[in-house]
Homo-oligomer: A and B are copies of this chain.
Amino acid sequence: MKANRRNFVKTLGTASIATVLPKLSFSNSPGLVSPGSGKLKLTFWPYDLQLKHTFTVAEFSRDTTPVMLCKLEYEGFTGYGEASMPPYLGESQKSVAGFLNNVDMGQFNDPFRMDEILEYVETVDHKNRAAKACVDIALHDLVGKMLNQPLYKLWGLSPKNTPNTSFTIGIDEPELVREKTIEAIEAPEKLKVLKVKLGRGNDKEMINTVRSITDLPLYVDVNQGWNDKDKALEMINWLKEQGIIFVEQPLPKEQIDDMAWLTEKSPLPTIADEAFQRLSDVARFKGVYSGINIKLMKSTGLREAHKMITVARALDMNVMIGCMTETSCAVSAAAQLSPLADWADLDGNLLISNDVYEGVKVVDGKVTLNDLPGIGILKLN
């Protein structure tokens, strides 16, 4: 079949299209639908994020987070991606580099074929979720840039529907918690909700300390720090009275029956985090947790995260979108999905002092998307 190529000229904001209709051409064979002659090219480099404050959760403390940054190039367009490797995920700059070195993106000449490309990436190794997210984010950024549209727009979402984001208060001595809470509520982002880490035995002290400073709604994240379901229920009943919105990962991820019991009795929604990684996990947590905390570094990126949201909604489960400590790259990528979420915890870039991108902002406490194409970031410097 013979066909003429369309000539398409588009200027941002106003669009015009030549009305000469093309002859139908068909595309069962790869490469027929307007991919250029180019190949995808992946480059990556390690980076260490400096945390503004030592970060303490139920199991450990740290001052830095290793990440891997990447770019995916195609015919003059560049998409950016990121893998974040907090120690508890079992990935490192070495393991991610090892994975990415084995990814042959040069075999693909059409970045729009995301299903094909990401199915291939999935087969490179069964592990390395963060490394897969790095590629997925860069691919989405690239395609969004080629279409000159932000991803949220390509997904049909309204930017006004973004939720507020929480800012995390780690576990510490009361005086430091007080300081961090004051800093948080006085931050230029005008936060409307905080997330308090619990699970190290000083839960009531933590909440009371934060409550001595602010009446803002609070999320609570236990990071598997409780293990007795009756005590957990007792604590949740108390938290309910303190203006808490939900409780994240109250019990160890293995205690599934206890968790189903707790969710049934709990006056607050319960959210799965550590218990839950991939799309195939969502349906079996129906009735075990009220909802799920989706993070790109667990889901292997945006494509699977988007599907997770669809499935969770169909099962009447709550959706939270979270992040690791990350630059504005991965946080801005996650933010593109946030109009679909009940709650957001997208403070990863606010916790670091050496960001290398500018992207999504928190304005009056709300995740605020911009009109840049792709994941919506600019490279700094």
Chain A interfacial positions (CB closer than 8 Å to B): 1, 3, 5-17, 21-22, 24-30, 32-34, 36, 75-77, 112-116, 118, 143, 145-150, 153-154, 156-162, 279-280, 282-283, 303, 307, 310-311, 314-315, 339, 358, 361, 363, 366, 368-372, 378
Supposing A156-B113, A160-B28 touch, asked if A371 and B15 sit within 8 A by C-beta, the answer is no
Copies of this polypeptide in the complex: 2
List 18 additional A-B contacts (Cβ < 8 Å) besides A26-B363, A27-B371: A10-B148, A13-B34, A17-B145, A24-B372, A26-B369, A28-B159, A28-B160, A30-B158, A33-B371, A112-B149, A112-B153, A112-B154, A115-B158, A115-B161, A115-B339, A116-B158, A279-B314, A282-B314
| Residues of B contacting A369 in the complex (Cβ-Cβ under 8 angstroms) | 26-28
Q: Does A148 lie within 8 Å of B75, measured CB to CB? A: no
Supposing A11-B7, A36-B13 touch, asked if A24 and B115 sit within 8 A by C-beta, the answer is no
| Residues of B contacting A17 in the complex (Cβ-Cβ under 8 angstroms) | 76-77, 145, 148
Closest residue of chain B to A74 (Cβ to Cβ) is B15
- Give the contacting residue for A8; candidates B12, B153, B161, B303; CB below 8 A: B12
| CB of A357, distance to nearest CB on chain B (Å) | 11
Closest residue of chain B to A377 (Cβ to Cβ) is B24
| CB of A260, distance to nearest CB on chain B (Å) | 17
| Residues of B contacting A145 in the complex (Cβ-Cβ under 8 angstroms) | 17
Q: Does A150 lie within 8 Å of B283, measured CB to CB? A: no
| Residues of B contacting A3 in the complex (Cβ-Cβ under 8 angstroms) | 371, 378
In the bound complex, CA of A27 to CA of B34 (Å): 32
Q: Does B363 lie within 8 Å of A15, measured CB to CB? A: no
In the bound complex, CA of A34 to CA of B303 (Å): 25
Supposing A24-B378, A28-B368 touch, asked if A159 and B314 sit within 8 A by C-beta, the answer is no
Q: Does B75 lie within 8 Å of A14, measured CB to CB? A: yes
